[in-house]
Amino acid sequence: MPAISAENLSKRYPITVKESGFQGTAQHFFRRNYQTVNAVQAVSFQIEPGEVVGFLGANGAGKTTTLKMLTGLIHPSEGTVQVAGYVPFQRKAGFLRKITLVMGQKQQLIWDLPAMDSLRINAAVYGIGDRAFQQQVSELTEMLSLEGKLTQPVRKLSLGERMKAELLAALIHHPEVLFLDEPTLGLDVNAQVSVREFLRDYNQRFGATVLLTSHYMADITALCQRVLVIHQGGMIYDGSLAGLVDRFAPCREVTVELSEVYPIDQLSGYADVEAVEDLAKGQTVKFLVSQEALTQTVAKILADLAVIDLAVTEPPIEEVIGRVLRSGLAT
């Protein structure tokens, strides 16, 4: 059975429409006009137990609305959804014990109390006994490198330490399914790396299923083999991260180190020239070459020019995904 299954999942919201000016305000007061906004439209996917899947989309694309339906915070307008064998919006106790939702811009720890006090409250909510609580806290504290931090007031922790403590609080009941919405938001580079390493370790150690949204592509590339891409409320891609790059990166970057200096007119005859750097005894040239012409172009460059070194690289993943999100290319 899939850990997460959504079929034609949709969410519509009625919103009021008001004309500007005094007349519009008066009319709005006595008789309101509504229009329907399709936040999510017929989204379908399945995630198997133990998978770590990235969920990508521009702001307003429908990611958070989808997460809220998957966690039972809102009721879908249409479609069916099951998570860990439960229908989320029924909010059964068994379902709540099997999932967790972490939002990078929200906190559940009490600001002026030590984090350990909030953890004890969470343990009481989930009915976790003292022995299991101590074992779980000890294990997660070691994994998160939070030794000596949980007895300090939350307000005295650094942002990275607070995020780790939030993760510990969210995982105290050992959930099977993790919904992570921007878990590294606002963290510095070192803290981001630490959180990624913890999530990778947690997934491998406990086999947890993870659905991750993030605007930091390093989170996605470090943790996810598969990605879902949503655009204007609809799913436009479901597949491997490598497949997304292969499908939507039209060019490869070919960087060539030359022992001679060649005129730009001659170089542009091979492919689009992105950059040229003149050296003391030669040049470094970066070409943009279409995938279809890559083999032929590289062979011609090697045959015609005085090549010292040549490297072929893919465009940055951020550029590829950014192109998809801006234009919905997968449609």
2-30 pLDDT, tens per residue?
Answer: 999 999 999 999 888 878 888 877 777 78
Helix (H, G, I), strand (E, B) or coil at 143: helix
Bridge partners for 257 per DSSP: 284, 309
State the CB neighbour count (10 A cutoff) for residue 119.
Answer: 22
Q: What are phi and psi of 42, to 5 degrees?
A: 50, 50
Residue 122 CA to residue 26 CA, distance in Å, equals: 48
DSSP states of 33-60: EEEEEEEEEEEEEEE-TT-EEEEE--TT
The full set of domains in the chain, from first to last, is 4-246 (3.40.50.300), 250-313 (3.30.70.260)
> Which pLDDT does position 9 carry in this prediction?
96
C-alpha neighbours within 13 Å on the C-beta side of residue 107:
18
> Which pLDDT does position 331 carry in this prediction?
46
Q: Does 1 have pLDDT greater than 60?
A: yes
Residue 90 CA to residue 111 CA, distance in Å, equals: 31
306 or 31: which carries more pLDDT confidence? 306
| Mean pLDDT value across residues 229-245 | 87
